[in-house]
Amino acid sequence: MAIIRVRNLEKSFGKLHVLRGIDLDVKEGEKLVIIGPSGSGKSTLLRCLNMLEVPTKGTIEFAGEVITDPQADLPRIRKDIGMVFQSFNLFPHKNVLENITMALVIVKKMEQAKAEELALSLLEKVGLSDKARNYPAQLSGGQQQRVAIARALAMQPKVMLFDEPTSALDPEMVGEVLEVMGALAREGMTMVVVTHEMKFAREIGDRVIFMDEGVIVEEGTPEQIFTEPRNPRTRSFLTRVM
Ligand code: ADP
Ligand code: MG
Protein backbone atom coordinates (compact mmCIF):
# COMPACT_ATOMS: atom_id res chain seq x y z
CA MET A 1 0.00 0.00 0.00
CA ALA A 2 1.25 3.49 -0.85
CA ILE A 3 1.66 5.69 2.20
CA ILE A 4 2.62 8.67 0.03
CA ARG A 5 0.87 9.33 -3.27
CA VAL A 6 1.91 12.35 -5.33
CA ARG A 7 -0.01 13.32 -8.45
CA ASN A 8 0.95 15.94 -11.01
CA LEU A 9 2.80 17.98 -8.42
CA GLU A 10 3.99 21.39 -9.52
CA LYS A 11 5.73 24.11 -7.58
CA SER A 12 6.73 27.54 -8.75
CA PHE A 13 8.51 30.29 -6.88
CA GLY A 14 7.30 33.34 -8.76
CA LYS A 15 8.35 32.76 -12.35
CA LEU A 16 10.68 29.93 -11.44
CA HIS A 17 8.94 26.67 -12.31
CA VAL A 18 10.77 24.25 -10.01
CA LEU A 19 8.62 21.10 -9.94
CA ARG A 20 7.04 20.36 -13.28
CA GLY A 21 4.67 17.48 -12.80
CA ILE A 22 5.84 14.86 -10.34
CA ASP A 23 4.00 11.56 -9.95
CA LEU A 24 5.30 9.37 -7.19
CA ASP A 25 4.14 6.61 -4.88
CA VAL A 26 6.03 5.50 -1.82
CA LYS A 27 5.01 2.19 -0.36
CA GLU A 28 4.90 1.47 3.32
CA GLY A 29 8.34 0.28 4.41
CA GLU A 30 9.93 1.34 1.16
CA LYS A 31 13.32 3.08 1.02
CA LEU A 32 13.25 5.55 -1.81
CA VAL A 33 16.44 7.35 -2.78
CA ILE A 34 16.31 10.59 -4.76
CA ILE A 35 19.36 11.72 -6.69
CA GLY A 36 19.91 14.54 -9.12
CA PRO A 37 21.93 17.67 -9.78
CA SER A 38 21.86 20.70 -7.53
CA GLY A 39 18.84 22.87 -8.29
CA SER A 40 16.79 20.05 -9.80
CA GLY A 41 14.07 20.39 -7.15
CA LYS A 42 14.90 17.54 -4.75
CA SER A 43 14.62 19.61 -1.58
CA THR A 44 11.50 21.34 -2.85
CA LEU A 45 9.88 17.97 -3.49
CA LEU A 46 10.80 16.74 -0.02
CA ARG A 47 9.50 19.95 1.55
CA CYS A 48 6.24 19.59 -0.34
CA LEU A 49 5.80 16.09 1.09
CA ASN A 50 5.21 17.57 4.54
CA MET A 51 3.76 20.81 3.20
CA LEU A 52 6.66 22.98 4.32
CA GLU A 53 6.20 24.23 0.77
CA VAL A 54 2.69 24.59 -0.55
CA PRO A 55 2.43 23.06 -4.02
CA THR A 56 1.25 25.26 -6.86
CA LYS A 57 -0.65 22.38 -8.47
CA GLY A 58 -1.37 18.72 -7.93
CA THR A 59 -2.20 16.58 -4.94
CA ILE A 60 -0.34 14.76 -2.21
CA GLU A 61 -1.92 12.02 -0.16
CA PHE A 62 -0.34 10.87 3.05
CA ALA A 63 -1.68 7.76 4.76
CA GLY A 64 -4.91 8.06 2.82
CA GLU A 65 -5.45 11.74 3.55
CA VAL A 66 -5.22 14.52 0.96
CA ILE A 67 -2.77 16.84 2.70
CA THR A 68 -2.82 19.40 -0.11
CA ASP A 69 -6.45 20.02 0.78
CA PRO A 70 -6.71 23.51 2.37
CA GLN A 71 -8.75 21.93 5.18
CA ALA A 72 -6.06 19.38 6.05
CA ASP A 73 -4.89 19.40 9.68
CA LEU A 74 -1.21 19.95 8.94
CA PRO A 75 0.11 20.11 12.51
CA ARG A 76 -1.38 16.68 13.17
CA ILE A 77 -0.22 15.22 9.86
CA ARG A 78 3.33 16.57 10.27
CA LYS A 79 3.75 14.59 13.51
CA ASP A 80 3.76 11.48 11.33
CA ILE A 81 6.44 12.80 8.98
CA GLY A 82 9.93 13.14 10.43
CA MET A 83 12.44 15.28 8.60
CA VAL A 84 16.19 15.53 8.84
CA PHE A 85 17.98 18.37 7.08
CA GLN A 86 21.47 18.91 5.80
CA SER A 87 22.02 21.53 8.50
CA PHE A 88 21.13 19.84 11.74
CA ASN A 89 18.83 22.61 12.99
CA LEU A 90 19.15 21.76 16.67
CA PHE A 91 18.14 24.42 19.16
CA PRO A 92 21.52 25.81 20.24
CA HIS A 93 20.39 26.99 23.68
CA LYS A 94 18.87 23.61 24.62
CA ASN A 95 20.85 20.57 25.61
CA VAL A 96 20.59 17.31 23.70
CA LEU A 97 17.92 15.84 25.96
CA GLU A 98 15.83 19.01 25.81
CA ASN A 99 16.17 19.13 22.04
CA ILE A 100 14.49 15.74 21.90
CA THR A 101 11.92 16.13 24.68
CA MET A 102 10.65 19.59 23.78
CA ALA A 103 8.28 18.63 20.99
CA LEU A 104 7.19 15.54 22.91
CA VAL A 105 6.09 17.65 25.85
CA ILE A 106 4.68 20.59 23.90
CA VAL A 107 3.23 18.93 20.80
CA LYS A 108 2.53 15.41 22.03
CA LYS A 109 1.62 16.53 25.58
CA MET A 110 3.79 13.78 26.99
CA GLU A 111 4.81 13.92 30.65
CA GLN A 112 8.34 15.21 31.14
CA ALA A 113 9.56 11.99 32.79
CA LYS A 114 8.15 9.83 30.01
CA ALA A 115 9.58 12.14 27.35
CA GLU A 116 13.02 11.88 28.96
CA GLU A 117 12.79 8.12 29.14
CA LEU A 118 11.96 7.94 25.44
CA ALA A 119 14.67 10.48 24.58
CA LEU A 120 17.29 8.49 26.49
CA SER A 121 16.33 5.27 24.74
CA LEU A 122 16.64 7.01 21.37
CA LEU A 123 20.00 8.48 22.33
CA GLU A 124 21.14 4.99 23.14
CA LYS A 125 19.94 3.84 19.75
CA VAL A 126 21.99 6.52 17.94
CA GLY A 127 24.98 5.86 20.21
CA LEU A 128 24.89 9.10 22.20
CA SER A 129 23.75 8.09 25.68
CA ASP A 130 26.66 9.95 27.21
CA LYS A 131 25.80 13.27 25.52
CA ALA A 132 22.34 13.89 26.96
CA ARG A 133 23.42 16.96 28.97
CA ASN A 134 25.69 18.43 26.33
CA TYR A 135 24.81 21.39 24.16
CA PRO A 136 24.86 21.11 20.35
CA ALA A 137 27.99 23.29 20.07
CA GLN A 138 29.85 20.73 22.20
CA LEU A 139 29.15 17.97 19.70
CA SER A 140 30.71 17.09 16.37
CA GLY A 141 28.65 17.45 13.22
CA GLY A 142 28.06 13.73 13.03
CA GLN A 143 26.88 13.65 16.63
CA GLN A 144 24.57 16.62 16.05
CA GLN A 145 23.04 14.93 13.06
CA ARG A 146 22.46 11.76 15.08
CA VAL A 147 20.68 13.88 17.70
CA ALA A 148 18.56 15.39 14.93
CA ILE A 149 17.62 11.89 13.81
CA ALA A 150 16.77 10.87 17.39
CA ARG A 151 14.65 14.01 17.73
CA ALA A 152 12.71 13.22 14.57
CA LEU A 153 12.23 9.60 15.66
CA ALA A 154 10.91 10.69 19.05
CA MET A 155 7.68 11.79 17.39
CA GLN A 156 7.28 8.18 16.22
CA PRO A 157 6.73 9.18 12.61
CA LYS A 158 5.35 6.87 9.94
CA VAL A 159 7.83 8.19 7.40
CA MET A 160 11.27 9.75 7.63
CA LEU A 161 12.45 12.27 5.06
CA PHE A 162 16.19 12.91 4.82
CA ASP A 163 17.51 15.83 2.80
CA GLU A 164 21.22 15.27 2.15
CA PRO A 165 21.80 14.38 5.80
CA THR A 166 25.54 13.85 5.38
CA SER A 167 26.41 16.62 2.91
CA ALA A 168 27.46 19.11 5.56
CA LEU A 169 29.65 16.63 7.44
CA ASP A 170 33.37 16.12 7.44
CA PRO A 171 34.08 12.88 5.58
CA GLU A 172 35.09 10.97 8.70
CA MET A 173 31.64 11.57 10.20
CA VAL A 174 29.54 10.44 7.28
CA GLY A 175 29.77 6.77 8.21
CA GLU A 176 28.32 7.09 11.71
CA VAL A 177 25.23 8.89 10.38
CA LEU A 178 24.73 6.43 7.52
CA GLU A 179 25.05 3.60 10.02
CA VAL A 180 22.18 4.99 12.10
CA MET A 181 20.10 5.45 8.95
CA GLY A 182 20.92 1.93 7.82
CA ALA A 183 19.75 0.50 11.13
CA LEU A 184 16.52 2.44 10.81
CA ALA A 185 16.05 1.08 7.31
CA ARG A 186 16.53 -2.46 8.52
CA GLU A 187 13.89 -1.91 11.20
CA GLY A 188 11.39 -1.29 8.43
CA MET A 189 11.00 2.49 8.53
CA THR A 190 9.57 4.08 5.38
CA MET A 191 12.32 6.41 4.18
CA VAL A 192 12.72 8.99 1.45
CA VAL A 193 16.36 9.98 1.22
CA VAL A 194 17.97 12.63 -0.94
CA THR A 195 21.64 11.75 -1.00
CA HIS A 196 24.81 11.64 -3.05
CA GLU A 197 26.04 8.61 -1.11
CA MET A 198 25.67 6.08 -3.89
CA LYS A 199 27.10 3.17 -1.94
CA PHE A 200 24.54 3.76 0.80
CA ALA A 201 21.79 4.12 -1.82
CA ARG A 202 22.76 0.74 -3.18
CA GLU A 203 22.79 -0.88 0.21
CA ILE A 204 19.49 0.34 1.55
CA GLY A 205 17.54 1.66 -1.44
CA ASP A 206 14.61 -0.29 -2.85
CA ARG A 207 14.22 2.24 -5.62
CA VAL A 208 16.18 5.19 -6.96
CA ILE A 209 14.71 8.22 -8.67
CA PHE A 210 16.82 10.53 -10.79
CA MET A 211 15.44 14.07 -10.95
CA ASP A 212 16.49 16.82 -13.29
CA GLU A 213 14.92 20.21 -13.93
CA GLY A 214 11.85 19.46 -11.87
CA VAL A 215 10.87 16.13 -13.38
CA ILE A 216 11.58 12.49 -12.64
CA VAL A 217 13.79 11.55 -15.54
CA GLU A 218 14.35 7.94 -14.64
CA GLU A 219 13.61 5.48 -11.90
CA GLY A 220 14.57 1.94 -11.16
CA THR A 221 16.30 -0.31 -8.69
CA PRO A 222 19.69 0.91 -7.48
CA GLU A 223 21.25 -1.85 -9.59
CA GLN A 224 19.52 -0.60 -12.76
CA ILE A 225 20.15 3.07 -12.19
CA PHE A 226 23.77 2.75 -11.14
CA THR A 227 24.91 0.07 -13.56
CA GLU A 228 22.74 0.55 -16.64
CA PRO A 229 21.09 3.97 -16.63
CA ARG A 230 19.00 4.39 -19.77
CA ASN A 231 18.66 8.13 -19.91
CA PRO A 232 21.66 10.15 -21.12
CA ARG A 233 21.02 12.77 -18.41
CA THR A 234 21.17 10.09 -15.71
CA ARG A 235 24.34 8.71 -17.26
CA SER A 236 26.06 12.05 -17.43
CA PHE A 237 25.07 12.88 -13.83
CA LEU A 238 26.37 9.57 -12.55
CA THR A 239 29.71 9.89 -14.31
CA ARG A 240 30.11 13.24 -12.59
CA VAL A 241 29.33 12.01 -9.07
CA MET A 242 30.55 8.40 -8.96
P1 ADP B 1 17.91 20.77 -5.04
O2 ADP B 1 17.53 20.37 -3.67
O3 ADP B 1 17.72 19.68 -6.05
O4 ADP B 1 19.29 21.33 -5.12
P5 ADP B 1 15.98 22.85 -4.65
O6 ADP B 1 14.65 22.20 -4.53
O7 ADP B 1 16.63 23.32 -3.42
O8 ADP B 1 16.94 21.93 -5.51
O9 ADP B 1 15.85 24.13 -5.58
C10 ADP B 1 15.30 24.07 -6.88
C11 ADP B 1 15.23 25.49 -7.43
O12 ADP B 1 14.27 26.22 -6.68
C13 ADP B 1 16.53 26.25 -7.32
O14 ADP B 1 16.65 27.05 -8.47
C15 ADP B 1 16.32 27.11 -6.09
O16 ADP B 1 17.07 28.28 -6.16
C17 ADP B 1 14.82 27.39 -6.14
N18 ADP B 1 14.23 27.62 -4.83
C19 ADP B 1 14.17 26.71 -3.81
N20 ADP B 1 13.51 27.22 -2.76
C21 ADP B 1 13.14 28.47 -3.11
C22 ADP B 1 12.43 29.51 -2.44
N23 ADP B 1 11.95 29.36 -1.21
N24 ADP B 1 12.24 30.68 -3.12
C25 ADP B 1 12.71 30.83 -4.36
N26 ADP B 1 13.37 29.89 -5.05
C27 ADP B 1 13.60 28.73 -4.44
MG1 MG C 1 18.61 20.31 -1.91
pLDDT of residue 1: 87
The whole-number average pLDDT for the span 33-54 is 97
Are 164 and 127 in contact by the 8 Å Cβ rule? The answer is no
The whole-number average pLDDT for the span 70-85 is 96
User: Is residue 113 over pLDDT 90?
Assistant: yes
The whole-number average pLDDT for the span 59-83 is 97
How far from 222 is each of 149, 166, 201, CA to CA, in Å?
A: 24, 19, 7
pLDDT digits (tens, 9 = 90+) for 131-189: 999 999 999 999 999 999 999 999 999 999 999 999 999 999 999 999 999 999 999 99
Threshold 0.95, pTM exceeds: yes
Q: How far away, in angstroms, is 115 Cα from ligand 2 center?
A: 32
Most confident residue range from 6-10, 106-110, 237-241 = 6-10
* Integer-rounded Cα radius of gyration of the chain: 18
Are 205 and 222 in contact by the 8 Å Cβ rule? The answer is yes
User: Is residue 109 over pLDDT 80?
Assistant: yes
Shortest-distance ligand to the CA of residue 211: 1
* Residue-averaged pLDDT of the chain: 97
pLDDT of residue 4: 98
The residues, any chain, with a CB within 8 Å of residue 51's CB and separated by 6 or more, are 60, 67, 68, 72, 74, 77, 78
Q: How far away, in angstroms, is 41 Cα from ligand 2 center?
A: 7
User: Is residue 15 over pLDDT 80?
Assistant: yes
Shortest-distance ligand to the CA of residue 48: 1
Atom 26 in ligand 1: which residue has the minimum CA distance? 13
CA nearest 203: which of 229, 221, 230, 176? 221
Are 104 and 118 in contact by the 8 Å Cβ rule? The answer is yes
The whole-number average pLDDT for the span 216-237 is 96
> The complex's ipTM?
0.98
Atom 27 in ligand 1: which residue has the minimum CA distance? 13
pLDDT of residue 242: 77
pLDDT of residue 224: 96
Q: Which residues have beta carbons under 5 A from ligand 2 (an ion)?
A: 42-43
Domains of the chain: 2-241 (3.40.50.300)
- Strand ranges inside 131-223, DSSP E: 159-163, 190-194, 207-212, 215-220
Q: From 9, 12, 16, 33, give the residue whose CB has the most ligand 1 atoms within 8 Å, as the site to mutate.
A: 16
Which residues share a beta bridge with 131?
Answer: none
Q: How far away, in angstroms, is 14 Cα from ligand 2 center?
A: 19
Are 192 and 35 in contact by the 8 Å Cβ rule? The answer is no
Percent of the chain clearing pLDDT 90 (strictly above): 98
Atom 19 in ligand 1: which residue has the minimum CA distance? 44
pLDDT of residue 72: 97
Atom number in ligand 1 closest to CA 40: 3
Atom 6 in ligand 1: which residue has the minimum CA distance? 41
